[in-house]
Structure 1
Amino acid sequence: MPRPKTKNELVELSTKNYKRLLDYVNSFSEEKLASEFPKGLLNRNVRDVLAHLHHWHLMMMDWYTVGMKGNKPEMPAKGYTWKTTPDLNREIWKKYNTADLDDIKKQLQISFEDLQKIIHKHTEEELFEKRRYKWTGTTSLAAYLISATSSHYDWAYKLIKKSMK
């Protein structure tokens, strides 16, 4: 499906890509899930990838909360710029690299549902109109939500698929 252009497409693609990712992850044995990805990748295993998604969900929700109050969120995170995102991703990896996979899956499910609630509470115009909210700059709220959901789930699916061969 191409990039969502409506609220229904956003809900459908984010849910579809999330389900595809989790179905794929759940198809592996515990031994395979614990195996390491090839050297050279920041995310070393499935847990790392799912933790990365969860943390970006949390950041998206923080941006949203701060931004919708009329304030400017620190994006992508305090002390980081979009150019230093690789450094931020390393810090995210450090935060979760000893976490339990089942705990991460539960946290990811909760943060996924929380983002879905945000999507559902807005009209199509509120989601897709560019420059509607000061905090989203020249783009739309949907652009941020697409990046944090359907696009990110697709990235994760492809990374895991490539790494689990």
Structure 2
Amino acid sequence: MARAKNKEELLLQGEENYQKLMTLIDSLSEEEQVAIFPFEGRDRQIRDCLVHLYEWHQLFLDFVNNNQQEAIVPFLPVPYNWKNYGEMNIKFWEKHQNTSLENAKNMLETSHNNCLDMIKKYSDEELFTKKYYNWTGTTSLGSYGVSATASHYDWALKTIRKYKRSLK
């Protein structure tokens, strides 16, 4: 699926990919949903993928909320940047080692809806005009929205599909 270029596509892709993700997870037994992946990687089970998505939703929501309050803050919290954000992802993983799969699902559902609600507040022009806001740098607000939702869901779908294939 091509990257969203307008608000309608962003909302549609975000919702479709979220639903695909939940359907894929629901296609697994309860035991399979909590099992450890048999391959290497930071995320070792479905819960890890879901809390990763949740945390990136929080980054998006905080980024928009803070900057709309005219407190110019970067998308990634200090001390992270686009060169070392992998360290931040590890911190997210560590933070949620005691989060249950059920809580991860609930947290993700809420944050997913919050992201879509946030996106709905903006026009196509506000979302997809590069540099419309000085705090989005050289890109657009919609690009951040795509990254936090639709394309991040693609990553989770690929990871969980790989896990599901390994079960055969």
TM-score bracket for the superposition, by shorter chain length = over 0.9
Deviation of 1:39 after TM superposition, in Å, equals 4.0
- TM-score of the superposed pair, with normalisation by structure 1: 0.96
Match of 2:72, SS state, is coil
Deviation of 1:66 after TM superposition, in Å, equals 1.2
The letter for the 2-side match of 1:91 is K
Partner Cα separation in structure 2 for residue 128 and residue 116 of structure 1: 15
Displacement over 3 Å in runs of 4+: none
The letter for the 2-side match of 1:106 is N
Partner Cα separation in structure 2 for residue 34 and residue 12 of structure 1: 29
> What's the C-alpha RMSD, in Å, of the aligned pairs?
1.0
Matched-pair contact (CA < 8 Å) for 1:75–1:82 = no
Partner Cα separation in structure 1 for residue 21 and residue 40 of structure 2: 22
Deviation of 1:83 after TM superposition, in Å, equals 0.8
Cα deviations across residues 83-110 of structure 1 (Å, max 9, x unaligned)? 1111101000000112111111001000
Matched-pair contact (CA < 8 Å) for 2:59–2:76 = yes
1:142 correspondence with 2:142: yes
The structure-2 alpha-carbon separation of the partners of 1:72 and 1:158, relative to structure 1 and needing over 3 Å to count, comes to same
Partner Cα separation in structure 1 for residue 63 and residue 5 of structure 2: 22
Deviation of 1:75 after TM superposition, in Å, equals 3.1
1:58 is matched with: 58
Partner Cα separation in structure 2 for residue 123 and residue 80 of structure 1: 30
Equivalenced residue count is: 165
Deviation of 1:38 after TM superposition, in Å, equals 2.5
- The alignment-based identity, stated in percent, is 38
Partner Cα separation in structure 2 for residue 123 and residue 75 of structure 1: 20
- TM-score of the superposed pair, with normalisation by structure 2: 0.95
2:115 is matched with: 115
Partner Cα separation in structure 2 for residue 7 and residue 108 of structure 1: 21
2:4 is matched with: 4
Cα deviations across residues 137-162 of structure 1 (Å, max 9, x unaligned)? 11100000000000000110001111
Match of 1:131, SS state, is coil
